[in-house]
């Protein structure tokens, strides 16, 4: 598996002198992380300090009122439950189908392989917004609007091409010799896949899980049309929150913090896999 390693002590390009580099890094860190710190800080600010004109940077007190308001005044647990259920289902389905499909195009010569790969490339590049109308019509024809199953199906249109593509890249980097040895030992093609290739593709499977989960958790476009009523997801509910209340910024920042938290934690733990997936040239948006 390809690894990206900083190249240690060897001499490197010095465009920035040390002081300039420190200043530059601080500036980028401030731009990247400052807004997120402000989001979290705002969710703990008392109302009087949140709404002052002009705004003040330093707050004198902290409060949990906004979180209380969110948990008491909305069905936030139901939204999170929906989003989580959908993301897990989407992840499992795309990883299973992605592993099978990605493995097949790197190992087997079969009729329709080129067509499959062409369709994969097209669907990978095709913007989701162009599928919105027919997807909506299809799911309403199947009576799946407002159901978990409908949202899962729509999300698969986004996560499946990426999953197959990622798994194909990983499968391609796994040496075939081990499977060939297993075949000679009498294991069938499926046995070699299951017992030899799958364990070797662990990293790829973890990476694909991570991306499928994040994409589904984050998805707004299809969900806004399909995840209505009982099946509403966090992003859709959160977007509705802005217009339905007289804008309760404290509560909105509390919800934004809550929706980001699982993803940032997941990313923090699996950052290595995330970088690997990104440098393989994946992920829309």
Partner 1 sequence: MSPRKTTQVISLDSTLPVGGSNRESMRRPLLGRGLVRQSRIAGILFTLPATLVFLVVLTYPIFQNVRTTFYSVSLMTGQSKFIGFDNIVQILEDQELAKSVSHTIVWTVASLVGQIGLGLIAALLIDKPWRGMRFLRTLFLIPYVVPVIASALLWQWMLDGHYGIVTEPLHSLGLVSEGMSPLGQESTSLAAAILINIWRGFPFAMLVFWAAMQTIDQGQYEAASLDGAGPWRSFISITMPNLMPAVVALIALRGIWTLMYFELIWLTTQGGPMGSSQTVAVYLYKVTMGEFQLGYGAAIATVTGLSLLVMIGVIMLFRRWWRNR
- Count residues near partner 1 (CB under 8 A): 127
Q: Is 180 in the site for partner 1 (CB under 8 A)?
A: yes
51 lies in the site for partner 1, by CB under 8 A? yes
As a whole number of angstroms, the distance between CA 88 and CA 169 comes to 23
Residue of 59, 63, 85, 172 that binds partner 1 (CB under 8 A):
172
Output 201 or 276, the one with its CB closest to partner 1.
Answer: 276
Say whether residue 59 binds partner 1 (CB under 8 A). Answer: no
* Window 255-274: residues binding partner 1 (CB under 8 A): 256-257, 259-260, 263-264, 267-268, 271, 274
Q: What is the DSSP letter of 2?
A: -
Q: Is 168 in the site for partner 1 (CB under 8 A)?
A: yes
Q: Which of residues 101-130 bind partner 1 (CB under 8 A)?
A: 101, 103-113, 116, 119-121, 123-130
**219-222, Cβ contacts within 8 angstroms, sequence gap of 24 or more:** 219/155, 219/158, 221/128, 221/129, 221/132, 222/128, 222/132, 222/135, 222/151, 222/154, 222/155, 222/157, 222/158
Q: What is the footprint of partner 1 within residues 193-252 (CB under 8 A)?
A: 214, 217-218, 220-221, 224-225, 234-235, 238-239, 242, 249, 252
- Name the 3-class secondary structure at 44: coil
Closer by beta carbon to partner 1, 25 or else 64:
25
CA dihedral 23, 29, 32, 35 (to 10 degrees): -100
Nearer to partner 1, 88 or 157 (CB): 157
Identify which of residues 111 and 229 has a Cβ nearer to partner 1 in the complex: 111
Site for partner 1 contains 81 (CB under 8 A)? no
**Contact in structure between 117 and 268 (CB atoms under 8 Å):** no
Task: Pick one of 62, 100, 185, 230: the residue that binds partner 1 (CB under 8 A).
Answer: 100
How is residue 67 written in tokens?
Answer: 């979180």
The verdict on whether omega for the bond into residue 62 sits within 30 degrees of 0, i.e. cis, is: no
């Amino acid at each position: 598996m390809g690894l990206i390693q900083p190249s240690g002590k060897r001499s490197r390009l010095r465009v920035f002198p040390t002081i300039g580099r420190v200043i530059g890094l601080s500036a980028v860190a401030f731009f990247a992380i400052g807004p997120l710190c402000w989001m979290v800080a705002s969710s703990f600010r008392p109302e009087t300090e949140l709404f002052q004109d002009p705004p003040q940077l330093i707050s004198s007190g902290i409060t949990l009122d906004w979180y209380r308001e969110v948990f008491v005044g909305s069905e936030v647990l139901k939204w999170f439950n929906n989003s989580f259920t959908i993301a897990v289902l989407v992840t499992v389905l795309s990883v299973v189908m992605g592993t099978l499909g990605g493995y097949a195009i790197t190992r087997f010569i079969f009729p329709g392989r080129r067509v499959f790969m062409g369709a994969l490339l097209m669907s990978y590049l095709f913007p989701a917004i162009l599928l919105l109308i027919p997807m909506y019509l299809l799911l309403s024809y199947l009576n799946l609007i407002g159901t978990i199953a409908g949202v899962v199906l729509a999300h698969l249109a986004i996560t499946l091409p990426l999953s197959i593509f990622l798994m194909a890249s990983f499968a391609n980097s796994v040496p075939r010799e081990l499977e060939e040895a297993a075949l000679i030992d009498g294991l069938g093609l499926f046995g070699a896949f299951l017992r030899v290739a799958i364990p070797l593709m662990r990293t790829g499977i973890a990476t694909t899980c991570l991306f499928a989960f994040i994409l589904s958790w984050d998805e707004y476009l299809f969900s806004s049309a399909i995840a209505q009523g009982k099946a509403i997801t966090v992003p859709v509910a959160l977007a509705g929150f802005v217009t339905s209340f007289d804008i309760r910024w404290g509560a909105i920042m509390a919800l934004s913090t809550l929706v980001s938290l699982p993803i940032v934690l997941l990313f923090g733990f699996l950052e290595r896999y995330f970088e690997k997936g990104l440098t393989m040239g994946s992920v829309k948006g």
